[in-house]
Amino acid sequence: MDALEALKTRRSVRVFKSNPIPGKVIEDLIDCGRMAPTAINIQPWEFIAVTDAALRARIAGATDHGDFIKAAPLCIAVFCKDTKYYLEDGCNASVCILVAARAHGLGGCWVAGDKKPYAGKIGEMLGSPAGCKLISLLAIGYPAEQPLAAKRPLSEVLHWERF
């Protein structure tokens, strides 16, 4: 799948098949995340690939809207060191991972991390060092259904020169 198709067809997937994701694919997803744009090239990110079902269930139970994490064969936790642009950098990496997942025929859904009351608990669960902030939890797997979320037409969102 080419990059434009992956970008234009990526949708949030919350229902997954139980098929495991090969290690080389997981490594490629993380590799795409680490190649994301980053302010001043600081690259503050750290990624934790969680494939253990019991740990994914604990993570899912700690969130307020991420119960589907326990059914995904993979959860990637994106953390960033506390730098000036940690949130922007971590969000860039998260999007790159989700688009790469689509290109691999996988689906995924972003569960919020930063500013959520459970962020610290997830960090403790995963052994993140002090000074690292949870940016996102990315549930990833082979889609069991194809979401049909419509997007607003380009004509509604594109403004030339001024709003």
The pLDDT tens digits for 102-143 are: 999 999 999 999 999 999 999 999 999 999 999 999 999 999
Query: What mean pLDDT is predicted for residues 47-69?
Result: 98
How far, CA to CA in Å, does 45 sit from each of 7, 105, 107?
Answer: 22, 25, 22
Query: What pLDDT, in 10s, does the model give residues 22-42?
Result: 999 999 999 999 999 999 999
What is the spatial distance between Cα 148 and Cα 139, in angstroms, rounded to a whole number?
A: 18
**pLDDT averaged over the chain?**
96
> How many angstroms separate the CA atoms of 87 and 85, rounded?
6
Domains of the chain: 3-145 (3.40.109.10)
Instruction: Answer whether residue 147 shows pLDDT above 90.
Output: no
Q: Which two tokens stand for residue 88?
A: 């922007």
Distances (CA, A) of 2 to 32, 61, 83, 96: 14, 36, 33, 14
Q: Is residue 148's pLDDT more than 80?
A: no
pLDDT at 56: 98
SS3 74: strand
